[in-house]
Amino acid sequence: MGSVKPKLKKLKKSAGVPPSRTKGAAGQERTVTIIRDVTKRKRAEEKLRESEAEYRSLFEDSLLAISQASPDGRLIRANKTYARMYGYESPEQIIAASNNVRQHYAHPKDRKEVLRILDEKGFMEPREFQLIRRDGTQFSALVSARAVKDPNGKLLYYQATHVDLTEQKQAEAALRERDIQFKKLFSWVPGMIYQFTKKPDGTFCVPFTTDAIEGIFGCTPQEVRENFSPIARVIWPEDLDKVLGSIESSAKHLTTWTCEYRVQIPGQSIKWVFGNSTPEKSADGSITWYGFNNDITERKQADDALRESEERFRQLSGLLPQIIFETDIQGNLTFANQHGLKSFGYSPEDSLSGLNILTFVAPEDRDIIGKRVQEIMRGSESAADEFQMIRKDGVVFPALIHATAIHKDGVSIGVRGIGIDITKLKRAEEDLLKMAKGVQEKDEELTRFTTAVLHDLRSPLITIQTFLGFLERDVRSQDGERIEKDLGFIRNAADRIGRLFDEIQRLSQVGVIIHPSQEAPLQEIVHEALDLVAGRIAERGVRVDVTEEPVFLWGDRMRLVEVFQNLVDNAAKFMGDEPAPRIEIGSEQAGDETVLYVRDNGIGIDPQALPTMFALFKKRDPETEGTGAGLALVRRIVELHGGRVWMESEGPGKGTTFRFTLAQTRRHP
């Protein structure tokens, strides 16, 4: 019994379970252990960590300027937006430079006012303050804040959000200046520009209008600012209901208001007025139209409505970011908007004469589009078709063409259509396919990784499980020697799991923990790696020859050293009984590509096994030390550096050569 009890005590402490001792009826000593399930607590802790990580990400990456200050006013935390707003390069820089956040206020009393509100209410609604940047310039900002306290009501810190109003203030100043300029311009604009409002009570007024109102309605801007009646009185009685009805319809549907109506100022002849405006509904229920009224008497008399309509069409098509075109019955171009001309490499000054619609179609699609035009002319329904178009400089691009026939007196006289350049859409589709492929590859890689981890963890876990059973038996039989043996097996299996996790962590950090890329001679990288495996080389008596060729590598120096460290260590480990072990490190030129290699004269490998040697935890000899993650780590590092790695061996006893490439490797001439 004396030899067993210490073992039991040691085992229970290592399991983290506090034991208690009692004595039975016969006086024998018993140990009682209470095991508590902490799964929920662990999950809660994990959720808390995730929540804290999300909050940290939102805080640091927010487009709003956010800061935290201690109760005594020290700046203890700030995000990047906050630092940049005050002219600093980083949060760390502004924190180091700030003795107290009150130094950021242009007026010290403002900071006191903030603290007063926070002490009184615990929060402060957004308020405007003048703040000071690092260079001493002042700017306006909206500041909101709250006092953050612990569950006991103790003040922890103040958190504030700042919104820089500099651009807004500049915009407001520019707006005021623009209003002045507009008034100057309006005085030269023919017709009347106005702002017309229907109040919530249903009455009308004209808050703004240019002085041209006098020439159209015979009243001044001041007379109609609060009262619409001076205008209503001069509208021709037969047209007044039409005007008011069209206004009500526009208000109901919030559609553009247009109307042609007659006006007669006392003592003057009747004139025609054309009105056009766009409505906007305000929060208070009022509706305001922005537009113009123009005297169209001469246009009516000249009856040039058709030409005006054509001009409006051309103006509208000129604003559209699509290709607008018209052709005659032979396919000759009769109209193209500016965007259409530009899309095909032509300027507005270029003549359309002699240009046929087929001129803009790639040769391989001309027959197809020619037949499609004929079908449309014969009454086929319009549809969007994809064709390859060609620019003036010969560049081909995809476009969706939607066309319909132009009719006059029931006869087709041409084609009118719209074209959309879908080059960006096609590229987006390609990028999406590449992204999907990348996701699939990552998923497959994750599956392989998970399978490998589970496979290599299963063996030590089975060992632990098995010998725990043996341990229970041996504890009951009080066999100290077997207990020690059982614990040894369990300890070795646990160490194996620990090594596996260490290798997994190293592999996962590749590509995540990134050091700045730099250029270094091959020899420097190799000799740094050789220093790390000098013990293995000396133990095996291996001779290492390194090329003197002027080859320079580019990348994460630490990771590149790891590549050579793992390859040299692997080569030295598998020298076998070779009497003169030798490792050669050099480079070869394969076309425009420099291939690096690590060659040994060790035990070699069956060529059929070569493709699997870079798999995670794959070992050439299961009896050797290590986890088998080294070559997987090599492949991961090489691929992240834009290269590839492979093995070559003629078979057992013939040695092994590792070859790999790295992007931006250069050979000095």
When pLDDT is averaged across residues 145-152 and rounded to a whole number, the result is 93
Fill in the amino acid letter for 436.
A
Do 548 and 523 form a contact (C-beta atoms < 8 A)? yes
Two structure tokens written together for 411? 């006869």
For position 259, what pLDDT does the model report?
Answer: 95
Q: CA-to-CA distance for 153 and 450, rounded, in angstroms?
A: 48
For position 10, what pLDDT does the model report?
Answer: 44
Q: CA-to-CA distance for 648 and 326, rounded, in angstroms?
A: 67
Residue 34 has pLDDT above 90, yes or no: no
**CATH number of the 189-303 domain:** 3.30.450.20
Q: What is the DSSP letter of 357?
A: G
Going from N- to C-terminal start, the domains of the chain cover 1-36, 44-169, 189-303, 308-421, 428-499, 517-667
- CATH level 2 (architecture), domain 517-667: 2-Layer Sandwich (3.30)
Q: CA-to-CA distance for 53 and 195, rounded, in angstroms?
A: 52
Which sign, positive or negative, has the C-alpha torsion 549, 554, 557, 560?
negative
Structure confidence by residue, pLDDT tens digits, 307-355? 677 777 777 777 777 888 888 888 888 888 888 888 888 887 777 777 8
Burial of 319 (0-12, 13-18, 19+ CB in 10 A): exposed
Q: CA-to-CA distance for 9 and 127, rounded, in angstroms?
A: 66
Strand, helix or coil for residue 630: helix
Q: CA-to-CA distance for 195 and 533, rounded, in angstroms?
A: 84
Helix 557-573 and helix 630-640: axis angle, to 10°? 150
Residue 35 has pLDDT above 80, yes or no: no
Two structure tokens written together for 645? 């790695």
When pLDDT is averaged across residues 235-260 and rounded to a whole number, the result is 95
pLDDT-derived band at 457, boundaries 50, 70, 90: low
Spatial neighbors of 617 by CB under 8 A, at least 6 apart, are 452, 453, 455, 456, 500, 503, 627, 628, 629, 632
Let me know the angle formed at the C-alpha of 258 by 254 and 262, rounded to the nearest 5 degrees.
Answer: 140
Two structure tokens written together for 194? 């106005």
Q: Residue 326 forms beta bridges with which residues? A: 335, 416
Please tell me if the domain spanning 308-421 has the same topology as the one spanning 428-499.
no
Average pLDDT in the chain? 83
For position 383, what pLDDT does the model report?
Answer: 66
Chain-centroid distance of CA 548 in Å reads: 45
DSSP characters over 23-64: E-TTS-EEEEE-----HHHHHHHHHHHHHHHHHHHHHHH-SS
CA atoms within 13 A on the CB side of 226: 0
**CATH number of the 428-499 domain:** 1.10.287
Q: CA-to-CA distance for 523 and 545, rounded, in angstroms?
A: 11
Strand, helix or coil for residue 491: helix
Do 399 and 386 form a contact (C-beta atoms < 8 A)? yes
Residue 459 has pLDDT above 70, yes or no: no
pLDDT-derived band at 6, boundaries 50, 70, 90: very low
Q: How many other β-carbons are positioned within 10 Å of the β-carbon of residue 451?
A: 12
Domain 308-421 class in CATH: alpha beta
Do 280 and 192 form a contact (C-beta atoms < 8 A)? no
Domain 44-169 class in CATH: alpha beta
Of 90, 87, 89, 84, nearest to 65 by C-alpha is 84
DSSP β-ladder status, 645-648 and 656-660: antiparallel
Structure confidence by residue, pLDDT tens digits, 103-135? 999 998 999 999 999 999 999 999 999 999 999
Residue 394 has pLDDT above 60, yes or no: yes
pTM, 2 dp: 0.34
Spatial neighbors of 645 by CB under 8 A, at least 6 apart, are 614, 634, 635, 638, 639, 658, 659, 660, 661
Number of helices and strands in the chain (H, E): 20, 25
pLDDT-derived band at 2, boundaries 50, 70, 90: very low
Fill in the amino acid letter for 488.
G
Residue 294 has pLDDT above 80, yes or no: yes
Residue 502 has pLDDT above 80, yes or no: no
Output the furthest CA–CA distance in the chain (Å, rounded).
131
When pLDDT is averaged across residues 627-634 and rounded to a whole number, the result is 72
For position 330, what pLDDT does the model report?
Answer: 85
